[in-house]
Structure 1
Amino acid sequence: MADGAGPERIVLLRHGESEANIDPGIYERVPDYRIPLTARGVEQSRVAGERLREQFDGQKVCVYVSPYLRAYQTLEALGIDDLIERRIEEPRLREQDWANYQDPDEIARQTGLRNTYGHFFYRFNEGESGADVFDRVSTFMETLYRHRAKPGFPPNTLVVTHGLTMRLFCMRWFHWSVEYFESLNNPGNAETRTLVRQADGRFALEQPFDQWRAVPEGQTILDTTRAGVAGPE
């Protein structure tokens, strides 16, 4: 929006380290949405909160949070409750659904298939594809646009979510290609990516995502095919 309405920055925050980040076997016995942070994850989140407090500089913030326990625990550990004007639980910001209780052998098999098929389009047998997550993030963005347009909306928006969801949010916002998205790594636990409003009313990403292979932002599958570049690995 070029008229100056809405927030000056949108901060995307990945949850802190969870028990699943150190023990993937937990998916066999605990539902994904109930997996908690580790003690290290709580500390990571506390430190992230100090950075956010400095970044927000006393200004109010509207928070959208994934309904997963690790996202809520991350938000709690930030220690910025005094700055939060409104907190909204947003199920569309949840982690990509892989399965219910996950069989490790089956997940390992499907992860291998996803690596060759492509992370954006591969759909897990009992879950979602990256494209499915992209679609629900797109509908969330429509809600965000409406909220941003309301008078008195805070100058800061904080989205507490998951690594893949952060990348797909930016893919949708900045109209990145699938090829470019496929080249990006997740941010680390409790890391942020900030979209900042520029003088022309548009937003720019302060810090890019790391890439595991060099792909220009505008490259499409047609360019890749013409160049004879291999697809996902």
Structure 2
Amino acid sequence: MDLSHRPLRIALIRHGESEANLDKTVYERTPDHAVPLTPHGHEQAAKAGRGLRELFDNQPVRVYVSPYLRTRQTLDSLGLDDLIETAREEPRLREQDWANLQDTEDIERQEQLRNSYGHFFYRFTHGESGSDVYDRVSTFLETMHRDFSNPEAPRNVLLVSHGLTMRLFCMRWFHWSVRFFESLRNPGNGETRVLLRQPDFRYKLDRPFEQWTPYQPTPRERSAWL
């Protein structure tokens, strides 16, 4: 692959605030993939869109979006339609599968188990582990790299996805350890992280993820951000 074809920027954004972010019992009656944004979530996306427009310098963008309602609504509310050259629905960027319609008490109990067992390896009873999401994100990266080989492809790429998926994308991209991943927090609703191409054609994050447990990143792990 001609390295000059690599995009200048790969932006990741977590969906805006959803109804389930305010009330987890929503999952008892609404499938996870059908949970909508709140009005505030649309506002968060609109604000993020203004920042992304500036970042992209009003140049064309290729978009990959999770098929969940809240991510598709986030994309719509970004206000970037005039810049989007291609928008592809990408199921491999979906949220971690937890269950179908959820039992709130059971999920809360499992969340506590996950904290002690490990977020990467714990598999929800009727869902996925973080490592399962890592595997499908890895196959998505192969597809994305093939798309980069087109010299006519936009120099800006945007992934509209979910907090855990964003962390696992970066873990896979930068080859972070499981221990480092376990120490990181999800970004907030409507927050972005941007991979910026450097003169040597490698990428660095515009800012790190916050950490919620003590772990000292290795020099290689720290080198992932500016």
Residue 3 of structure 2 is matched in structure 1 by 3
Match for 2:13: what amino acid?
Answer: L
| 1:160 corresponds to 2:142 | no
CA distance in 2, matches of 1:34, 1:3: 39
Amino acid at match of 1:30: T
Take 1:55 and 1:115, find their aligned partners in 2: how far apart are those partners? Answer: 36
Aligned equivalent of 1:199: 199
Structure 1 residue aligned with 2:91: 91
Give aligned-pair identity as a percent. 63
CA distance in 2, matches of 1:159, 1:102: 27
Instruction: Give the match for residue 223 of structure 1.
Output: none
Q: Give the TM-score normalised by the residue count of structure 2.
A: 0.95
Task: List alignment gaps of at least 5 residues for structure 1.
Answer: 220-233
Q: Does 1:145 align with 2:134?
A: no
1:151 Cα deviation from its structure 2 partner: 1.6
1:30-49 mapped onto 2 (5 Å cutoff): 30-49=30-49
Render the CA deviation track for 1:37-88: whole Å, top value 9, x for unaligned: 0000000000011101111111100000000000000000001100000000
Q: Distance in 2 between matches of 1:158 and 1:16?
A: 15
Residue 16 (structure 2) aligns with: 16
1:117-132 correspondence runs (5 A): 117-132=117-132
Distance 1:15 1:6 in 2: 25
Aligned-CA RMSD value: 1.1
1:225 aligns with: none
Check whether the contact 2:2–2:149 (CA below 8 A) recurs between aligned residues: no
Give the alignment of 1:25-104 within 5 angstroms: 25-104=25-104
Q: Which amino acid aligns with 1:96?
A: Q
User: 2:62–2:86: 8 Å Cα contact kept in structure 1?
Assistant: yes
The answer (yes or no) to whether the contact 1:177–1:218 under 8 Å persists in 2 is: no
Q: Spell out, residue by residue over 1:17-53, the C-alpha distance to the aligned partner (whole angstroms, 9 max, x if none).
A: 0000001000000000000000000000000111011
For the residues of structure 1 that align with 2:103 and 2:55, how far apart are their CA atoms? 42
1:130 Cα offset (Å) = 0.2
- Which secondary structure does the structure 1 equivalent of 2:3 belong to? coil
**Aligned-partner Cα distance in 2 for 1:123–1:106:** 13
Structure 2: 5+ residue stretches without partners = 220-226
Number of residue pairs aligned between Structure 1 and Structure 2: 219
Structure 1 position 197, deviation (Å) = 0.4
1:169 counterpart letter in structure 2:
F
Please give the alpha-carbon distance, in whole angstroms, between the structure 1 residues aligned to 2:61 and 2:104: 39
2:180 is equivalent to residue 176 of structure 1: no
After alignment, is 147-156 or 121-130 more displaced? 147-156
State the 1:112 CA deviation.
Answer: 1.1
Runs of 4+ in 1 over 6 A off after TM superposition: none
What is the CA–CA distance in structure 2 between the aligned matches of 1:12 and 1:138, rounded to whole Å? 16
* 2:65–2:93 contact (8 Å) kept in structure 1: yes
Corresponding residue of 1:133:
133
CA contact 2:49–2:78 (8 Å) conserved in 1: yes
**C-alpha displacement of 1:2:** 7.2
